[in-house]
Amino acid sequence: MLPAPVGGPVPERHVGAEAALSGGLTSLLGAAGLALGLSVIFGDPRHLRIGWLLPLVGVSFDLDPLGGVFVAATGAVSVAVGVYSVGYAKRGRWARLPMVTLPLFVAGLLLVPAAGSVTTFLLSWELMAATSLVLVLSEHRRDAVRSAGAFYAVMTQLGFVAILLALVILAAAGGGDTFATIAAHAPGLTSGTRTTVFLLTLVGFGSKAGLLPLHAWLPKAHPEAPSPVSALMSAAMVNMGIYGIIRIDLQLLGPGPHWWGLTLMIFGALSAVFGVLQASVATDLKQLLAYSTTENMGLVTLALGAAALLSSSGAPAVAAIAMTAALLHLLSHAAFKSLGFLAAGSVLSATGLRDLDKLGGLARRMPATTVLFGIAALGASGLPLGAGFASEWLLFQSLIHSPHDSNTVLALAMPLSVGAVALTTGLGIAAMVKAFGVGFLARPRTAAAGAAREAPASMLAGMSLAAAACTVFAVAPVLLGPTLRHVLGELPTLGGSAEGPALGTILRLPGVAGSISPGLLAAALVIAILLAVGIARWSTRHRPPATETALWACGADALGPRMQYTATSFAEPLQRVFDDILRPDTDVEITHFAESQYLVEKVTYRTRLDDPVEQRFYTPVVRAVRMWAQLVRRAHNGSIHLYLTYGALWMLIVLLVAK
């Protein structure tokens, strides 16, 4: 049978069997990755070199605890996604191509952190990029998907070019292809080379991690991809950008000057605030989650920058806290963001809706999905009992405990970044309350939302795995203590020499006074809530029997679903407060009756929120590129002789240069 057209629903096929195969393969790969990563973290590093696979350099893998933690995280996410995708692909009647590509994508994701040499790294990176592009395009019949795919392709390839240049320069200067040799020669590099490599990699990896201003592909591609793929991209692929920054800039190039850490902090803070701002006004559920990814990667980058800055200004203990915060937040983000996208996917497959303004009332129709998304949202909002709480607490501690005697840079950077992180947390709470409260509570706003059905068992199983991970991060980060300590040991330049924070039942910070215990806090909170419930039962015997009545409609008979607040109206105050940054274009047109100017026939209110950075930053670039293309086209007049002349000229130039 011929390969089916991508994405199209193809009736005569046992989609179920194929979905089970692809999902199972994905999960197996993930499980293998998880096991391998853990074994490396707690055992010895693994080396693998396959000479014949690639001419000249060969392929070499070299897995140490730092890579291991990324491999393990990717593997864990893939397990959940694989289980989930069995049911999802069956429901969505996936075509064959995405089913085949999904495991390949996971393989690429697992290979990147394991790569031991520049060549291998670039190859795995390209594998990851290409497969993810195919997956993003799997529903290519929709225009939105096609435009998003094109945008994603261009951005990711540009990023790849930057990384390619940087690594080639590094390999040339480092006198070798494998990271080990480069690390050996790293101290001898000139500061010029270091700076060039740092800037190039910052561009390349930053665009992959969705940092401002190179984030623009992320809120387009992640929502348009099928939800399991969105989960993989948002929870595993963006991590690779962070991995690159840690591996190349912070580990190989060693301790950089002050301004490296400062640059990372600035970009991180900008990305965090901007991303959360966009998330808090977004009305598309998956786009909201995608912007929240930008936000969280920004937080991680800020923590990395803080770690670099602190260690370069002689505070290894605090730097270790910042580094732990970065890694812990990375992992917890992987947990709650994958859960969030999977839950959003089950909503999408049950209602065909992503627009929060049309959703609502899912709590009664999809209780399990509602609870699971609630766990994810709680984690994303960084509140106690949430997965993100411990890591954000560590981040705050590292920021407020920086040494502030006679160091102007720290004295300026730390308070401002505390303000930025705090604003991010606050707006993040608002965004998640909107996503959960408007999307899942209250009454359905459309018939489609009213007709929602609970997701099948396999999808629920996949989500439950992610939810379990979230719970671990929320109440027992103690379980991750050893892992993080091993990884921290790998990074001597980031305070790895100093003793990292002790993630016991009670998190204690050595060197600085500070302690918290998520687990005990959760237990105490439960007890307190029970106490409150008990208080509310006081003098029950005097009460008339409880009843259930209609909602109070201010005397009117019934409240229509359209009288509810929507996501747009919920975010309106925030949009108004941050008017100068968001630049919404709203227009109100009032049509009067022909009879009189004083009688209003109807009022239409329309508001549109475009990504302002995209508006200001990308449009001119695109215009410039187009002009350049026009110029180039002039050189192509189709005459073969002319082309031959070009070739000859180039050869001459090359010869002259090479001489």
Site for another protein in 404-443 (CB under 8 A): 404-406, 408, 411-412, 415-416, 418-419, 421-423, 425-427, 429-430, 433-434, 436-438, 441-443
Shortest Cβ 568–another protein spacing (Å): 10
Alpha-carbon distance of 21 to 26, in angstroms, equals: 9
CB nearer another protein, residue 143 or residue 548: 548
Distance, CA of 388 to CA of 108 (rounded, Å): 27
- Tell me which residues in 273-302 interact with another protein (CB under 8 A): 280
Within positions 342 to 361, which residues make up the interface with another protein, using CB under 8 A? 360
d(CA 353, CA 362) in angstroms, rounded, equals: 12
Of the pair 36, 372, the CB lying nearest another protein is at 372
Beta strands in 236-275 (DSSP E): none
Q: Which is nearer to another protein, 2 or 536 (CB)?
A: 536
> Least CB distance from residue 603 to another protein, whole Å?
17
Phi, psi at 503, each rounded to 5°: -85, 65
Span of 39-47, 91-99, 163-171, 402-410 interacting with another protein by CB under 8 A:
402-410
Cα distances (angstroms) measured from residue 11 to each of 15, 32, 85: 9, 34, 19
| Pair type for strands 46-50 and 59-63 | antiparallel
Nearest to another protein of 85, 397 (CB atom): 397
Which CB atom, from 125 or from 570, has the smaller least distance to another protein?
Answer: 570
Q: Nearest distance from residue 135's CB to another protein, in Å?
A: 34
CA distance 426 to 433: 11
Which of these segments, 29-37, 111-119, 339-347, 546-554, binds another protein (CB under 8 A)? 546-554
In the complex, the smallest distance separating the C-beta of residue 400 from another protein, rounded to whole angstroms, is 5
**Would you say 137 or 431 has its CB closer to another protein?**
431
* Beta carbon of residue 106, minimum distance to another protein (angstroms, whole number): 35
Which residue, 146 or 443, is less far from another protein as judged by CB? 443
For 319, half-sphere exposure in the C-beta direction (CA atoms, 13 angstrom radius) is 25
User: With respect to another protein, which residue has the nearer C-beta, 385 or 476?
Assistant: 385
For the bound state, the minimum distance from the C-beta of residue 516 to another protein, rounded and expressed in Å, comes to: 5
Distance, CA of 604 to CA of 589 (rounded, Å) = 5
C-beta of 537 vs 606, nearer to another protein = 537
Which residue's CB is nearer to another protein, number 159 or number 514? Answer: 514
Q: Considering the complex, what minimum distance in angstroms separates the CB of residue 299 from another protein? A: 14
The tokens describing 42, both together, are 């707690």
| Distance in angstroms (rounded) separating the CA atoms of residues 204 and 216 | 14
Strand partners, 355: 284
The answer to whether 430 and 367 have CB atoms below 8 angstroms apart is no
Question: C-beta of 410: minimal distance to another protein in Å?
Answer: 9
- In whole angstroms, the minimum distance from the beta carbon of 317 to another protein comes to 12
Sole residue written with tokens 């305070």:
495
Q: Which is nearer to another protein, 528 or 624 (CB)?
A: 528
Cα angle, residue 74 at apex, residues 72 and 76 outer, rounded to 5°: 65
Residues 113 and 71: their CA atoms lie apart, in Å, by 6
User: Mask 48-87, x = binds another protein (CB under 8 A)?
Assistant: ----------------------------------------
DSSP character at residue 546? P
Compute the C-alpha angle 279/281/283, nearest 5°. 85
Least distance from another protein to the Cβ atom of residue 450, Å:
12
d(CA 412, CA 421): 15
Decide whether 173 or 421 has the Cβ nearer to another protein.
421
Helix 118-136 and helix 143-174, axial crossing angle in degrees, nearest 10: 180
Chain residues 559-588 in contact with another protein, contact rule CB under 8 A: 559, 561, 563-565, 569-574, 576-577, 580
Give 553 or 654: the residue with its C-beta nearer to another protein. Answer: 553
Residue type for position 430: A
By beta-carbon proximity to another protein, the closer residue of 362 and 463 is: 362
* Contact call for residues 256 and 221 (beta carbons, < 8 A): no
Query: Closest distance between another protein and the C-beta of residue 132, in Å?
Result: 33
> How would you class 471 by CB atoms within 10 Å of its CB: exposed for 0-12, middle for 13-18, buried for 19 or more?
middle
Question: What's the closest the beta carbon of residue 532 comes to another protein, in angstroms?
Answer: 4
For 647, other C-beta atoms within 10 Å of its C-beta total: 10
Residue span binding another protein (CB under 8 A) among the ranges 38-46, 187-195, 548-556, 625-633: 548-556
Question: Applying CB under 8 A, what is the total number of residues that bind another protein?
Answer: 94
Stretch 480-539 residues interacting with another protein (CB under 8 A): 506, 512-517, 520-521, 524-525, 528-533, 535-539
Q: Tell me if 400 contacts another protein by CB under 8 A.
A: yes
C-alpha distances in Å from residue 331, one per residue of 47, 64, 477: 25, 17, 11
**142/364 with CB nearer another protein:** 364
DSSP 8-state symbol, 587? E
Minimum separation from the CB atom of position 340 to another protein (A): 16
In this structure, the number of other CB atoms found within 10 A of the CB of residue 354 comes to: 21
Note whether 489 and 41 are within 8 A (CB).
no
Instruction: State how far the Cα of 523 lies from the Cα of 516, in Å rounded to an integer.
Output: 13
Shortest Å, Cβ 537 to another protein? 8
451 contacts another protein (rule: CB under 8 A): no
Nearest approach in angstroms of CB 230 to another protein is: 25
The one among 11, 190, 192, 542 contacting another protein by CB under 8 A: 542
Which residue, 229 or 377, has its beta carbon nearer to another protein?
377
Angstrom distance (rounded) from CA 446 to CA 602: 22
The answer to whether the beta carbons of residues 278 and 219 sit under 8 Å apart is yes
Cα–Cα distance, 499 to 383 (Å, whole number): 27
Token couple for 567: 């996501």
Site for another protein in 197-256 (CB under 8 A): none
Determine, following the binding rule CB under 8 A, whether residue 314 of this chain makes contact with another protein: no
CB–CB of 263/202 below 8 Å?
yes
Among residue numbers 360 through 399, which ones bind another protein (CB under 8 A)?
Answer: 360, 363-364, 381-385, 389, 393, 396-397, 399
Q: Confirm if 471 and 283 have CB atoms less than 8 A apart.
A: no
Shortest distance, CB of residue 322 to another protein, whole angstroms? 15
